[in-house]
Amino acid sequence: DGGITQSPKYLFRKEGQNVTLSCEQNLNHDAMYWYRQDPGQGLRLIYYSQIVNDFQKGDIAEGYSVSREKKESFPLTVTSAQKNPTAFYLCASSISLGLAGGREQFFGPGTRLTVL
């Protein structure tokens, strides 16, 4: 089945440790995104990538880093510099920006990160 996978579903880390969240898609989408969701809030964009080997900061990039070495993969690292990392993290992908249509984003199941 085509879709987006994120693993693990739940992740626990000690304060001060870096942690990497995985995101893989087999939809052949060019663009990928990372969002953060806090309780009772909407989604906020952390980073996005429109093409392999290129990515841009979103609204809340501080304390996070990403890479896009393969079209299928867009891992997110939550560094120790992120002051409040406990949150629900959602990865998404969409078709190329140059094509017509709504270009809705398709989301993975999310990873709930808890920093102790």
Partner 1 sequence: AQKITQTQPGMFVQEKEAVTLDCTYDTSDPSYGLFWYKQPSSGEMIFLIYQGSYDQQNATEGRYSLNFQKARKSANLVISASQLGDSAMYFCAMREDPEGGGNKLTFGTGTQLKVEL
Which residue, 13 or 44, has its beta carbon nearer to partner 1?
44
Residues of this chain, 49-108, that bind partner 1 according to CB under 8 A: 50, 56, 58, 88, 90, 92, 94, 97, 102-108
Q: Which residue has the tokens 């304060």?
A: 15
**Residues 6+ positions from 56 with CB-CB distance below 8 Å:** 47, 48, 49, 50
- Residue 15 or 29 having the CB closest to partner 1: 29
Rounded CA separation 111/28 (Å)? 22
- The residue behind tokens 């998404």 is 92
> Residues 52, 77, 86, 110: which binds partner 1 (CB under 8 A)?
110
Phi and psi, residue 10, nearest 5° = -125, 140
Q: Which is nearer to partner 1, 91 or 115 (CB)?
A: 91
41 touching partner 1, by CB under 8 A: yes
Among 18, 62, 109, 114, binds partner 1 (CB under 8 A): 109
Using CB under 8 A as the binding rule, whether residue 26 contacts partner 1 is answered as no
Binding-site size, partner 1 (CB under 8 A): 27
Which residue type is seen at 40? G
Q: How far is the CB of 2 from partner 1 (least distance, A)?
A: 14
Encoded tokens for 32: 């990928």
Going by C-beta distance under 8 Å and a sequence separation of 6 or more, which residues neighbour residue 67? 55, 74, 75
